Amino acid sequence: MTEPLLRVRDLKTYFVTEHGSGTARAVDGVSFDLYPGETLGLVGESGCGKTVTSLSVLRLIPEPPGHIRPGSFIEFAGRNLLTLAPRELRAIRGNQIAMIFQEPMTSLNPVFTVGDQIAEAAIVHQRLSRRAARARAIEMLKLVGIPDPAQRVDHYPHQMSGGMRQRVMIAMALVCHPKVLIADEPTTALDVTIQAQILELLERLQAELGMAVMLITHDLGVVAGSADRVVVMYAGQVVEQAPTPDLFARPLHPYTEGLLASVPRLDAPPARARARLHGIPGQVPASSDWPGGCRFHPRCPYAWDRCREEEPPLLDASSGEPGSHTVRCWLLTEPQRRTTRPGP
């Protein structure tokens, strides 16, 4: 098997809480690999730690109040990103690993033209002249499907629609042809017809440029259509990790199962269209106060004594290659306890 491009091991990113008294363990021992050319979906609800994970990879966590704990390890191209000097890190950030954010409205600088913002990374990292960088910016705008790129290059963000701004963000991220693109909820702020355009664009560019994409989203539909593998996060931890077809066909963690049962389905047959949704009782706990034992046990329909007392490790549930499907749940050791799902 090919070597991973990015290897995250036991990542712990903690924050000092507002009153200075407690610690929010936003990301608490996360490990995963990203392989060349693949799309990895990182899924979970608000507060599960998926965005903090992605920001930690590029060390974009504000310190203080945040800090990445010693013992965490993020390997890219044979080096630990967490111990690099700021200068070395800058050579990688925006160059070999690039990022696009959820809010195309607020992540662009309103006082510079989009051309200047796209060209900046090429000038800094590739030492292009201003003229060459401008030509590159026009080329990038064309690549992301913006009409009249030679005129648009001199426009300001406020002159563009939300979908266009997200295309500009993608052009900015890809200008140095990164090996890894981290896309944090890239379509959440967009309407569904514009979301379809952006997802299609990302798929096309990934195929053309051969980069690996880490797609962070709360939308299981987006993951099902775009990701090769999925990592499901809950309460700062990875709770399940599997190839996409396997995860949707055989969700093993009760949280994954509940999440899938919560989604209203457009493809539901008419007879089931108005049926009750399952939902998950309760809500995500606060990151300063994760429950003991399995962190999902207060909301889990199958929980028993062991779940309340002992935190489960990631257990191997693969039907194919060992380690391809892992689940953080004691049910794997006592499958007979997975009875028919209790009613909502």
Partner 1 sequence: MTSSASALVDVQGLVKHFPGERAFFGLGRPRAVVRAVDDVSFAITPGQTLGLVGESGCGKSTVGRTILRLIEPDAGRVLIDGLNLLTLGSRELRALRRRMQIVFQDPYGSLNPRLTVRQTLAEPLAIHHLATGADAGRRIAALLEEVGLDPGFAASYAHELSGGQRQRVGIARALSVEPQFLVLDEPVSALDVSVQAQVLNLLADLQQRRRLTYLFIAHDLAVVKHIADQVAVMYLGKIVEWAPAPRLYAAPRHPYTTSLLSAVPVPDPMAQRPRIVLTGDVPSPAHPPAGCPFHPRCPHPKKDARCRTEPPALREVAPGQLAACHYAEEPL
The nearer residue to partner 1, 10 or 289, going by C-beta atoms, is 289
Would you give the DSSP letter of residue 60? -
Interface with partner 1 (CB under 8 A), residue from 210, 245, 313, 320: 245
By CB under 8 A, is residue 232 in contact with partner 1? no
* Closest distance to partner 1 from the beta carbon of 247 (Å): 8
Q: 6-16 and 23-34: which strand pairing?
A: antiparallel
**Contacting range for partner 1; rule: CB under 8 A; set: 10-18, 52-60, 80-88, 253-261:** 253-261
Count of positions (residues) in the chain: 344
Would you give the DSSP letter of residue 93? B
The nearer residue to partner 1, 66 or 163, going by C-beta atoms, is 163
By CB under 8 A, is residue 193 in contact with partner 1? yes
Phi and psi of 303, rounded to 5°? Answer: -60, 140
By CB under 8 A, is residue 332 in contact with partner 1? no
CA–CA distance, 161 with 58 (Å, rounded to integer)? 28
CA–CA distance, 336 with 339 (Å, rounded to integer)? 7
Question: Using CB under 8 A, which residues numbered 160 to 189 contact partner 1?
Answer: 161, 163-164
The four Cα atoms 202, 199, 221, 226 give a dihedral, to 10 degrees, of -30
By CB under 8 A, is residue 155 in contact with partner 1? no
Helix ranges (DSSP H) in 229-314: 244-249, 254-262, 270-273, 305-309
CA angle, 160 then 164 then 166, to 5°:
120
Q: Show the tokens assigned to 65.
A: 């109040």
**Contacting range for partner 1; rule: CB under 8 A; set: 28-36, 84-92, 243-251, 315-323:** 243-251
The nearer residue to partner 1, 94 or 145, going by C-beta atoms, is 145
Cβ-contact 146, 139 below 8 angstroms: no
By CB under 8 A, is residue 342 in contact with partner 1? no
By CB under 8 A, is residue 158 in contact with partner 1? no
The nearer residue to partner 1, 76 or 234, going by C-beta atoms, is 234
* Closest distance to partner 1 from the beta carbon of 38 (Å): 14
The nearer residue to partner 1, 126 or 288, going by C-beta atoms, is 288
Helix ranges (DSSP H) in 155-191: 162-174
Alpha carbon distances (Å) from 57 to 64, 76, 215, 223, 302:
17, 10, 13, 21, 34
Question: Using CB under 8 A, which residues numbered 30 to 89 contact partner 1?
Answer: 45-46
Q: Show the tokens assigned to 248.
A: 């949707």
By CB under 8 A, is residue 156 in contact with partner 1? no
Interface with partner 1 (CB under 8 A), residue from 60, 77, 150, 196: 196
The nearer residue to partner 1, 270 or 342, going by C-beta atoms, is 270
By CB under 8 A, is residue 283 in contact with partner 1? yes
The nearer residue to partner 1, 188 or 318, going by C-beta atoms, is 188
Q: 212-217 and 39-43: which strand pairing?
A: parallel
What are the residues whose beta carbons fall under 8 Å from the beta carbon of 342, sequence distance 6 or more?
301
By CB under 8 A, is residue 210 in contact with partner 1? no
By CB under 8 A, is residue 222 in contact with partner 1? yes
Q: Catalog residues that contact partner 1 under the rule CB under 8 A.
A: 45-46, 161, 163-164, 191-197, 199-200, 218-225, 244-245, 248-249, 258-268, 270, 273-274, 276-281, 283-284, 344
